[in-house]
Amino acid sequence: MPEPLDAALTEVRALLLDPSLTRAVAAGRRRGRHPVVMRAELRPVTLKAGPRLQIATSDGTRPYTRNVALGPETVQAIDELLAEPFGNWHVETTDATLQLRVTKSGEAQVHRAATSRPVATPTGNDRSKEYLLDPGDEIFAEIGGSAAKRRQVDAFLRALAATLPDELTGPLRVVDLGCGNAYLTFAAYRYLTSRGLDVQLIGVDVREDQRRRNTELAQRLGWADRVSFVAGTIADAVVDPAPDLVLALHACDTATDEALARAVRWEARWVLAAPCCHHDLAKQLRAHPAPTPYELLTRQGILRERFADVLTDALRAGLLRVHGYRAEVVEFVDSQHTPRNLLIRARRTGAAATEPQRAEYRELVNQWQVTPRLETLLAAGSRR
């Protein structure tokens, strides 16, 4: 239920001034208002001079960080931030989390939750390891908190953070295609909302039992109104409205191509896809001899399989460029944790492909006599 905005901001103020504050983020803007500060993040730190409240702000062009002494100076700084027309506030203390979103009518939608994370000691500027999502976060009690899982979650979130612009504001529609047990889905939602973003997220998986399990988990976390799940294939599941951000993490073989094709047809602004196995082109490479002088690359089965992995992702990135995306293939987690550690990261520019880009892609396809599944799917989509 919507609440009066003044009362909600008073509650936010009390939490910001509470000694148990661990972190807070403000971002977005209210309808018709133009803030001077585009984003603000607050956290307690301990410096040689004593405890301080660190406030990192951005005006959309450059960041500014200051450490404010506790007392009247802190109160003044917090009141100045509360006077800014932020559209979203996310505040965490050692025993509570509050998320506030300002509606178009100027009212507040507030979500409150109790947390059970251990009391955090204010940190200094020299920390041995800083996770984007606190390892003590309540979400790990639900999705599992093994060291390996935390590392993978952190690596994925860092790739996500590097993809989205720091100055991003406003509502963000996200779809996770082939979400499985959705632990990265939930981690993405938790991180994005901690940045002060108004997130609506849909997870898609072919299994109905996964949909039920994930829906129950969203309800336990108190996120059922913002995180939902549908059962269906990556190619055909109903997702409405079209998303801004498409995730496809470890979708097997051509399922990654189906996810990329949907992202292109949706004209999604950002795409993060971590491919899994790459059987399709490996089969095609076995069907005919390699062009001279590359026979040695495909003569041995293990080398052919590994080369097929590289060729598949190179052609996927090339096709995304042809269809108006800036695409790159990066390593997002160390190979000692998983051999499937590549990530296709793409941002839509809308720019028409140049003739050299088209020729570069076509030359590689013709040389190896292959037909990438993504090319077939995009061609079929253009004829609809």
Domains of the chain and CATH, by start: 2-114 (no CATH), 138-379 (3.40.50.150)
Residue positions counted in the chain = 384
Angle of CA points 21, 22, 27, to nearest 5°: 90
Structure tokens at 288: 């005919």
Closest CA to 89 of 191, 193, 220: 193
Residue 61 pLDDT: 59
Residue 125 pLDDT: 47
Closest CA to 30 of 114, 108, 147, 141: 108
Name the helix (H) or strand (E) containing 249.
strand 245-249
What is the phi/psi pair of residue 36, to 5°?
-75, -40
Residue 8 pLDDT: 92
Predicted confidence pLDDT, tens digits, the chain (384 residues): 688 999 999 999 999 999 999 989 888 777 666 667 778 889 898 887 788 998 988 776 566 788 899 999 999 999 999 998 888 899 999 888 898 988 888 888 998 887 654 444 444 444 445 778 877 777 888 887 777 778 888 889 999 998 998 888 878 999 999 999 999 999 999 999 888 888 999 999 999 999 999 999 999 888 999 999 999 999 999 999 999 999 999 888 899 999 999 999 999 999 999 998 888 999 999 988 888 888 888 889 899 999 999 999 999 999 999 999 999 998 876 555 445 678 999 999 999 999 999 999 999 999 999 999 999 999 987 655
Place of tokens 């549908």: 230
Distance, C-alpha 136 to centroid of its chain: 20
Euclidean distance between CA atoms 154 and 160, whole angstroms: 10
Residue 64 pLDDT: 78
Alpha-carbon dihedral sign for residues 262, 229, 143, 41: positive
Residue 122 pLDDT: 47
Residue 364 pLDDT: 95
Confirm if 273 and 177 have CB atoms less than 8 A apart: no
Confirm if 312 and 342 have CB atoms less than 8 A apart: no
Angstrom CA distances, 326 to 138, 349, 353, stand at 36, 7, 10
Euclidean distance between CA atoms 312 and 310, whole angstroms: 6
Distance, C-alpha 348 to centroid of its chain: 15
245-249 and 171-177: which strand pairing? parallel
* End-to-end CA gap in the chain: 42
Structure tokens at 116: 């059970």
- Listed in sequence order, the residues at least 6 apart from 93 whose beta carbon sits closer than 8 Å to its beta carbon are 15, 18, 20, 21, 22, 115
198-205 and 171-177: which strand pairing? parallel
Distance, C-alpha 277 to centroid of its chain: 22
Euclidean distance between CA atoms 145 and 153, whole angstroms: 10
Helix 183-194 to helix 147-163 angle, to the nearest 10 degrees? 50
For residue 58, the one-letter residue type is S
Euclidean distance between CA atoms 170 and 180, whole angstroms: 28
